[in-house]
Structure 1
Amino acid sequence: MLVDVSRHPRAVIGASALVSTVALTLIAAPAHASTKELSRQGAPHPAQTPTPNTHTVAAGESVAAIAARYGLATADVLSWNGLSWGDSLIHPGQVLSLVAPAAPAPVPTPAPAAGTPYTVVAGDTISGIAARHGSTAGAVLAANGLTWDSIIYPGQTITVPAASAAPAPSPAAVDAVGLELDAEQAQNARTIIRIGREMGVPERGIAIALGTAMQESWLRNLDWGDRDSQGLFQQRPSTGWGTVEEVRDAERATRAFFGGPADPNGSRTRGLLDIPGWESMSYADAAQAVQISAYPDRYARWEQPSLAWLAALG
C-alpha cells in the first residue's frame, strides 16, 4: 500500500532519522573492519609487572617455586642469597633477594698513617684500644700489618692511627656474599658484639658467634626451630640451655654461647670459652664444638662475612 507522505509528516521525520543513523554507522565502522579487528585495535596492552627486588617467604614456599613465580632461574636465586642446592632451607618471614648483588666497590688500601705508639697490657683487644683512641679496629690492624687472626700480647708496642686517619666503616662491608643485614639482623649482631666485648672474648670468638647465629637463625631471635630449638643460637631447653624464655633472651643466649666463668648456665652447658684450644681450631670446628650440629661444615661459609660484619658494626 502506498502512503501519502504529505498526510503523514511523522513518517518523513522517522525515515530521515533512520537514514542518518545508518550513515553515521557506516562512517564510524568501515565495511572492511570486523568487530574482532576493532576490538583488537582499541584494546590496551596489559602492563608488564616488573620483578621486585626481594620476596618475603610464606609458609610452604620453596626456592624453586619462588624462582618460577618470577621467571628466574633457581640456581640464580640460590646464588644471590648465599644458598646452594644442598643447603637451601628457607623459613617463613625470610627475605630473599631476587636480583644479582652489585659488585662491591674496591676499597682502597690506606697509606701508612702516623699515629700514637701504645704498649699492650693484659686484657687489651684491638677494638678496645681503637675505641679508646677514637680510631677503628680496621685502621689499627692496617697500621700494624695485622689481620683479624693476629694475636697481641702484653708488652707489645703497636701504632694507633689518629682519629682523622681512621677510615669510616664502608656500607659495602656489611653486604658480604650478597647478604646485606636488615635492621633486625644488624641489631642482633650488635648485641652479640657488645656482650662478647663485655665478657672479654677475643675478636675471632665474637666473629664465630656471629657466623653461628647466622647459620642457626639468620641472625633472628626465632620462636621456633628444629624440635624445641629456639632463639638466635637455636639452643634447646630440653638439653639444658635454659627455659624457653631464657633461650629467647638474646643477651642471655649470647652469654651461654660464649660460656666461661660468666656462663648463666654454669656447668650445665659448654660454651666457646669452655672448649680447650678453641683458639687454634678452624672457624667451623670451633662453632661445631659448641653447637654439635648435624651439618658441621656449614659454619665455614660465614667466616669472612662475620669478620666484615664485626668490622662494620663493632
Structure 2
Amino acid sequence: MPVNQTTDLSRPRGARIHAPAALLGSLAVLATTLPTEAAEAADTGIMGAKHGPAVEATNRAATTTTAAITTATPTRHVVRPGDTISGISSTYGLRTADVLALNGLGWASVIHPGQEIILTAAPDGAVAASGIGGTHTVAAGDTVFAIAQRHDTTVDAVLAANGLGRDAIIYPGQTLALPGRMALASASSATTAPATGSGSSEAVPALDAEQIANVQMIISIGRELGVSERGIAIALGTAMQESWLRNLDWGDRDSLGLFQQRPSTGWGTAAQLLDRRYAILVFFGGDGDPNGYTTRGLLDIPGWEAMSYAEAAQAVQISAYPDRYARWEQPAYAWLAAHG
C-alpha cells in the first residue's frame, strides 16, 4: 500500500499536457479458453488399439466429415463481437493451437471485432494477405498499441521493426514498418514467458462491470484534463495494483478508494477519497487538482514522461512495493484500447 507523502507548498505546479488522443481500434475480446487434453486427443485422431468393425466404420465416417469441413474452410474469418479463438477454431473444425500458431497469437492474445483471423496457411511461395508486413502511416490519435491491434501484431514487434523503445513518441504522417510473420513470431516468443522488470508481460485479466466502470471514469477524466495515453495507462495500472480497480472503503491503515490514498497524509477526507472523481483528480494532479499544492499528482512529477512505467507510478504513490506496478503496464494499455 502507498505511503503517499505530502509535498512542499513552494514547488511549482507541473504544466498540463495537451495531447489527448482517441485510440483507434475496437472492443477487445480475450481469447482465454484453454484446450483440454481430451479435446487435443480427439483433434489428433488418436484411438485405442482394440477396434471392432463398428468403431472402424465410425472412424471412417468421422474422417470423411472432417475432410469435408476442411475442404469448405475459408482462408480467413472476420472476428465478430463475442468471438474467441477457440470458438472460431471449433466452428471450422480446426485445432485452437493451430489457429493461434498460424496467426502468431498466444493463449492470452486479444482479438477484436473486424480483425481477420487466418484459418489456412498460404500455399508455398504465396504471400498471405494478413495485414502483417508493409507500412502504416500514423494518423492523429494513433498509438503503437492501437496500430499493433489493427494490424494483428504486437507492440513489441512493431517497436522492434522500427528500432523504437517503449518511451518513443510517434507523430501524424510518420511511416512505421509493420513486422513480417517471422519478426512477429520472434517478438511473441520473447514476451511469452513472464518477466519481473519494467515492461513485463502479463496476461490481460478480464474485468467485471464495476472494474470497467472505474476504468472508463479514469480514462474520461484523464482525457478531460488533457493527459496523454501513457499517463492514463499509468493511472489504470496504479489503481489495479492498489485496489483491484475497486472503490474500497478499507485498506492499509487509513488508505481508501481507487488509489488507496490516505487522509492522514493530506490526500483529502475519507468522504473525498471515496468520491471516485476526486480520487482520480488528485492522482493526476496538475491544474485540475482539487488539493491544490497539498499533494503531488502524476502531472506534478518533474520528468515523469521519461520515467519507466513503474517509476512514474511510484513517484506518486511512494509505495513500499515499487516494483509491483510494472506488471500492469501491458494490461493497462489493453484496457485503454478496449474501454477508451
Q: With structure 2 as the length reference, what TM-score do the two structures score?
A: 0.47
Percent identical across equivalent pairs? Answer: 62
The residue type paired with residue 196 of structure 1 is G
Gaps of 5+ in 2: 1-105, 112-116, 118-129, 176-201
Residues 152 and 253 of structure 1, relative CA distance in 2, 3 Å threshold: same
Task: Write the letter of the residue equivalent to 1:215.
Answer: Q
Higher RCO (C-alpha 8 Å, min separation 6): 2
Instruction: Report the AA paired with residue 253 of structure 1.
Output: A
Compared with structure 1, are the counterparts of its residues 269 and 182 closer, same or farther at alpha carbon in structure 2 (3 Å cutoff)? same
Cα pair distance change 1:113/1:188, threshold 3 Å: farther
**CA shift for structure 1 position 266:** 0.6
Which residue in 2 is equivalent to 1:294?
320
Considering only aligned residues, what root-mean-square deviation do their CA atoms show, in Å? 3.5
Partner of 2:191: none
Deviation of 1:297 after TM superposition, in Å, equals 0.9
Q: Which letter maps to 1:110?
A: G
Aligned pair 1:187/2:202, yes or no? Answer: no
Of 165, 173, 180 in structure 2, the residue corresponding to residue 157 of structure 1 is 173
- The answer to whether the 8 A contact 2:108-2:204 is kept is no
Q: 1:223 to 1:137 in 2, by over 3 A?
A: farther
2: CA distance, partners of 1:117 / 1:179: 29
Superposition TM-score, scaled by structure 1 size? 0.51
Corresponding residue to 1:110 among 131, 134, 142: 131
Distance of 1:307 and 1:217 partners within structure 2: 18
Paired residues of 2:298 and 2:315 also in contact (CA < 8 A): yes
Aligned pair count reads 185
TM superposition shift of 1:277: 0.6
Aligned to 2:179: none
**Whole-Å Cα distance in 2 between the matches of residues 110 and 238 of structure 1?**
53
Over 3 Å counting, the alpha-carbon distance change for 1:306 and 1:115 in structure 2 is closer
Secondary structure of the equivalent of 1:228?
Answer: coil
Partner of residue 252 from structure 2, selected from 226, 232, 236: 226
1:261 matches 2:248: no
The structural deviation recorded for 1:152 is 3.8
Name the CA distance, whole Å, in 1 between partners of 2:293 and 2:151.
37
Question: Cα distance 1:184–1:111, how it changes in 2: closer, same or farther (>3 A)?
Answer: same
Distance 1:105-1:291 versus aligned 2 partners, 3 A rule: closer
Query: Which residue among 215, 220, 227 is the counterpart of 2:241?
Result: 215
Q: Which amino acid aligns with 2:207?
A: L
- CA distance in 1 between counterparts of 2:209 and 2:134 reads 33
Instruction: Supply the AA of the counterpart residue of 1:233.
Output: F
Distance 1:106 1:239, change over 3 A: closer
The one-character-per-residue Cα deviations of 1:1-56 (angstroms, maximum 9, x if unpaired) are xxxxxxxxxxxxxxxxxxxxxxxxxxxxxxxxxxxxxxxxxxxxxxxxxxxxxxxx
Q: Cα deviations across residues 229-262 of structure 1 (Å, max 9, x unaligned)? A: 1000001111111111111111111111011111
The aligned counterpart of 1:163 is: none
For the residue of structure 1 that corresponds to 2:203, the secondary structure is helix
Q: How does 1:50-129 map to 2 (within 5 A)?
A: 103-104=107-108, 110-111=131-132, 125-126=141-142
The structure with the larger Rg is 1
Whole-Å Cα distance in 2 between the matches of residues 224 and 313 of structure 1? 27
- C-alpha separation between the residues in 2 aligned to 1:277 and 1:226? 29
Query: Unaligned regions of 5+ residues in structure 1, if any?
Result: 1-101, 128-134, 160-175
- 1:179 Cα deviation from its structure 2 partner: 2.4
The answer as to 2:228 corresponding to 1:202 is: yes
Q: Is the Cα–Cα contact under 8 Å of residues 138 and 170 in structure 2 kept in the other structure? A: no
Q: Which residue does 1:250 correspond to in 2?
A: 276
Query: How far apart, CA to CA, are the structure 2 residues paired with 1:194 and 1:302?
Result: 19
